[in-house]
Amino acid sequence: MIAQLISIGNEITSGQTVDTNSAWLAQELAEFGVTCVRHQTIADELEPIRHAIDDAAGRSDLVIITGGLGPTPDDLTRQALADAMGVELLFHEPSLAHIEQYFALRKRHMHEGNRHQAYIPKGGDALHNERGTAPGIRAHLQNADIYCLPGVPSEMRDMFDVHVRPVLESESHGDATRIHVLHSIGMSESEIGERLKDMMRRDRNPTIGTSASELVISIRIVSHAESSVEAQRLLQADAAEIRDRLENTVFGEADETLESAVGRMLLDQRKTIATAESCTGGLIAKSLTDLPGSSAYFKQAFVTYSNESKTALLGVPEALITEHGAVSEPVARAMAENCRTRSGTDIALSATGIAGPTGGTPAKPIGLVYVGIASKNETVVKELRLGENITRAQVRGRTVKVLLNLLRLKLLKRERPDAD
Amino acid sequence: MIAQLISIGNEITSGQTVDTNSAWLAQELAEFGVTCVRHQTIADELEPIRHAIDDAAGRSDLVIITGGLGPTPDDLTRQALADAMGVELLFHEPSLAHIEQYFALRKRHMHEGNRHQAYIPKGGDALHNERGTAPGIRAHLQNADIYCLPGVPSEMRDMFDVHVRPVLESESHGDATRIHVLHSIGMSESEIGERLKDMMRRDRNPTIGTSASELVISIRIVSHAESSVEAQRLLQADAAEIRDRLENTVFGEADETLESAVGRMLLDQRKTIATAESCTGGLIAKSLTDLPGSSAYFKQAFVTYSNESKTALLGVPEALITEHGAVSEPVARAMAENCRTRSGTDIALSATGIAGPTGGTPAKPIGLVYVGIASKNETVVKELRLGENITRAQVRGRTVKVLLNLLRLKLLKRERPDAD
């Protein structure tokens, strides 16, 4: 089944409010095998709303409209739906009774505008709204079922659960969609595209798509089948195949983040960690402590932003800084090693670099960062060149991602206890 | 001028990602008097994208499409636009040269898929993308100007600034909408609503609206006039009036953040600062170093997550922690004072609290945080109760906001050099 969503309101088209209803509805619909192919957000204008409803109904089986059911003159969903259906609005007595009761119970004055909320397009049904004044509407247009729900997220979700979900449940037998997302880091989106080329064909089931967000590439698998067992089987087979093809770049799935994956590995391996940070200014420590329970592995951090603090807090020799500069391989190495011994942890991470937007030179450009990982047996320092055309926030954010991924790869090697 | 926005991608139609590009674009367009009447989000399907482009072009003067320009087979914007225009895709040699150079500079392998990114609909122009491989596209369809920009927000914003903004600027002469945003902290949205009640009438010019985001309330002023001088005058009069009514809660305007406002004050007053952090795990240091040039005032941070590290790094007496607990007024005080003396800075900040989601007790619930500010003359410690029904990220984020605001109010008192 194909669905389209329409959200109504100037506050959304103007950018003042971000529409979150559509994302929520799309995820709910997917559980019933209903694929959402378009969201539209329309300003509070009668003709554009009518057109959007008409266009959506002609191209899908289900249209859910949120918003525009309020009592003010700029609430136009009822009229626009009636116009799209070519019918008039009819007064619905039980809805008015509900609205009157709503105000009476709250000892509030009912405005004339609230009467308008009791009008329903001829041929449509009013849907009872337990939590607000505006009744929803169910109607039929072209080949599509149409639902109008309130725009307030809590009311909308409630109405969806009461009026839409049961219908979908009764209709969805024999159809099943399952969704799974894998997250990877360390391989470019185009390289992943090459490796999964045959699996990403448009006509294949499951369908597979990728999206990128600051070095993390997510791979989304959507399977369709006649039974949920079969859909799940297809999903798992593809997930296993993708993990195989992308090797150790896949670090997690669903809600998992690089930070939580690394945290879990530290916890499993009972390793403790500390950080010594210059250009990241505490962001590595912040990322490692984003997770509940991180005190089991994270002990402390030295944010040594000035050269003096690198010497005072971490014992990095002043001469080393003078000779090589604060942004250098030897300084990153000393920061990591001294942080580890001073913290008494199994592992220490360090980062020193040029975050920009100023301070870059031809020899040491913006985006040049040295990251270090010190453990009992070895210290590894890596030079990163993150590019000069990225923002300060990106230099810092990507430094953390790359460093945590290096740590992940290091921990991966020792994941079997007997290898320890 | 009427605009429509189209965002492309299964990750958005499926609800996995919330589209924030459209809200950003709508707000930017409003500054040029361009009204956004519809956003559409379309799945990665050729015909639906073609239809959406065609339908949008027929009903507006400007269409901005984001996403679907990547190198993989599910990136279909180029082809869909060509189909809507009824033309073929032509190979654009300079774009390929740019893509090849992009990979060469990064010493990365270029894949076959990246070649596809160099195809442009006949009659359209390639738009140079400084920060990525995908060129944008400018074209004309029906009566609308069409722009295709990347979906990655940072790249999209950059391309908008380079390729779209100058065109809008040159076209918007004689029209005058001006937007100004003030940011406040420390007064509730409803209190602000009361104080600005008469100014927030819907039929007034300028219009004034508020929005809240994690303790910061932003006040948006939009003025319309026949000349930009007049629109600007209306805007400034209202901004001054609002600053007056909201007293010292207004900390900045436009792109200014609480962090940048505090950073500017530290710089102006030539004060240096360090932090001692437990529950915030480095987030205060990270926030203070988000800004370019922060090394002028920020020196170092101690992230003392474990009790041992509070004693070892900051000299907080073990007995003090045993007697009062790590989350207590005396420990926050000792952390701030010892951090200041050990760092040799003018000011030191501290935070210790229960970030959750576990670890709360009736006496010390989740959201209980002690924050400290130590300076030469005094140490102030404040107990915060941020609420138990908020997330770990919210506890940490709000702690930083409240603490930085306390620091701002402290610095405000001494802003005149003669008061120093």
Give a yes or no: residue B56 inside a domain: yes
Amino acid identity, position A393: A
Residues in CB range of B187: below 8 A, 6 or more apart: B195, B217, B246, B249
Q: Calculate mean pLDDT across residues A276-282.
A: 97
Q: A205: domain range?
A: 176-253
Residues of A with Cβ-Cβ distance to B45 under 8 angstroms: 37
Q: Calculate mean pLDDT across residues B78-97.
A: 94
Q: Are both B159 and B234 inside the same structural domain?
A: no
Residues of A with Cβ-Cβ distance to B24 under 8 angstroms: 15
Query: In terms of DSSP bridges, do strands A176-185 and A216-225 run parallel, antiparallel, or are they unpaired?
Result: antiparallel
Mean pLDDT for all residues in chain B: 92
Q: Are both A182 and A167 inside the same structural domain?
A: no
A213, B152: Cβ pair inside 8 Å?
A: yes
Give a yes or no: residue B419 inside a domain: no
For B282, which of A295, A303, A343 is closest by C-beta distance? A303
Q: Which residue of B has its CA nearest to A6?
A: B40
Q: Are both B336 and B363 inside the same structural domain?
A: yes
B304, A300: Cβ pair inside 8 Å?
A: yes
Q: Are both A157 and A18 inside the same structural domain?
A: yes
pLDDT tens for each residue of B107-152? 888 888 888 889 999 999 999 988 888 899 999 999 999 999 999 9
B418 pLDDT exceeds 70?
no
* Per-residue exposure over B307-317, b if at least 16 CB sit within 10 Å of its own CB, e if not: bebbbbbbebe
Q: Are both A44 and A163 inside the same structural domain?
A: yes
B231 pLDDT exceeds 60?
yes
A201, B19: Cβ pair inside 8 Å?
A: no
Mutate to test the interface with B, among A31, A300, A345 (most CBs of B within 10 A): A300
Residue A187: pLDDT band by 50, 70, 90 thresholds? Answer: very high
Residues of A with Cβ-Cβ distance to B111 under 8 angstroms: 188, 190-191, 193-194
pLDDT tens for each residue of A314-343? 999 999 999 999 999 999 999 999 999 999
Interface predicted TM-score of the whole assembly (ipTM), two decimals: 0.76
B27, A45: Cβ pair inside 8 Å?
A: no
* Burial classification of residue A64, based on how many CB atoms lie within 10 Å of its CB (0-12 exposed, 13-18 middle, 19 or more buried): buried
pLDDT at site B207: 85
pLDDT at site B110: 85
The number of domains in chain B is: 3
A420 pLDDT exceeds 60?
no
End-of-domain residue from the set B126, B150, B171: B171
Q: Are both A265 and A231 inside the same structural domain?
A: no
pLDDT tens for each residue of B287-301? 999 999 999 999 999
Q: What is the CATH number of the domain that holds A407?
A: 3.90.950.20
Q: Which residue of B has its CA nearest to A199?
A: B73
Give a yes or no: residue A364 inside a domain: yes
pLDDT at site A105: 82
| CA B273 to each of CA B295, B353, B396: distance values in angstroms, whole numbers, following the listed order | 10, 21, 20
Residues in CB range of B417: below 8 A, 6 or more apart: none
Q: Which residue of A has its CA nearest to B71?
A: A190
B73, A197: Cβ pair inside 8 Å?
A: yes
pLDDT at site A173: 62
C-alpha to C-alpha distance for A2 and B53, rounded to whole angstroms: 20
| Residues B14/B31, Cβ–Cβ less than 8 Å | no
A23, B24: Cβ pair inside 8 Å?
A: no
C-alpha to C-alpha distance for A345 and A30, rounded to whole angstroms: 46
For A300, which of B44, B299, B306 is closest by C-beta distance? B306
Residue B142 backbone class (left: φ over 0; alpha: ψ -120 to 50; beta: rest): left
Q: What is the 3-state secondary structure (H, E, C) of A125-193?
A: EEECCCCCCCCEEEEEECCEEEEEECCCHHHHHHHHHHHHHHHHHHHCCCCEEEEEEEEEECCCHHHHH
A255 pLDDT exceeds 60?
yes
Residue A284: pLDDT band by 50, 70, 90 thresholds? Answer: very high
| Alpha-carbon distance B248 to nearest alpha carbon in chain A (angstroms) | 25
A28 pLDDT exceeds 60?
yes
Q: Are both B248 and B229 inside the same structural domain?
A: yes
pLDDT tens for each residue of B308-367? 999 999 999 999 999 999 999 999 999 999 999 999 999 999 999 999 888 889 999 999
Give a yes or no: residue A419 inside a domain: no
> Which pTM does this prediction carry?
0.77
In this structure, of A97-101, A239-243, B135-139, B289-293, the range with the lowest mean pLDDT score is: A97-101
Q: What is the CATH number of the domain that holds A216?
A: 3.30.70.2860
Give a yes or no: residue A418 inside a domain: no
Q: Are both A332 and A246 inside the same structural domain?
A: no
B385 pLDDT exceeds 90?
yes
* Per-residue exposure over B82-104, b if at least 16 CB sit within 10 Å of its own CB, e if not: bbbbebebeebeebbebbeebbe
Q: B162: closest CA among B120, B132, B127, B119?
A: B127
Mutate to test the interface with B, among A6, A14, A20 (most CBs of B within 10 A): A14
| Residues A384/A353, Cβ–Cβ less than 8 Å | yes
For B303, which of A45, A282, A358 is closest by C-beta distance? A282
| Residues A374/A337, Cβ–Cβ less than 8 Å | yes
B419 pLDDT exceeds 60?
no
pLDDT tens for each residue of B36-48? 999 999 999 999 9
Q: Calculate mean pLDDT across residues A12-25.
A: 88
B23, A37: Cβ pair inside 8 Å?
A: no
Give a yes or no: residue B307 inside a domain: yes
